[in-house]
Amino acid sequence: MEVGAFLLAFLAGSVNAVGLLGFSHQSVSHLTGTSSLLGLALADVDLSVARHLLLTLLSFLAGAALSGILITSTALKLGRHYGFSLLIEAALLVMAMLSLQQGSDLGIYLASMACGLQNAMVTTYSGSIIRTTHLSGIFTDLGIMLGNRLRGIPLNGRRLLLFVLLIGGFICGGVVGTWLFRLLHFTALMAPA
Share the mean pLDDT of the chain: 87
The structural domains of the chain, with segments of one domain joined by +, span 2-190
User: What are 54-89's pLDDT values in tens digits?
Assistant: 999 999 999 999 988 888 765 555 545 678 888 999
Tell me, what's the pLDDT at 127?
Answer: 66
Residues 6+ apart with CB under 8 A from 58: none
User: What are 129-162's pLDDT values in tens digits?
Assistant: 677 777 888 888 889 999 999 999 998 898 899 8
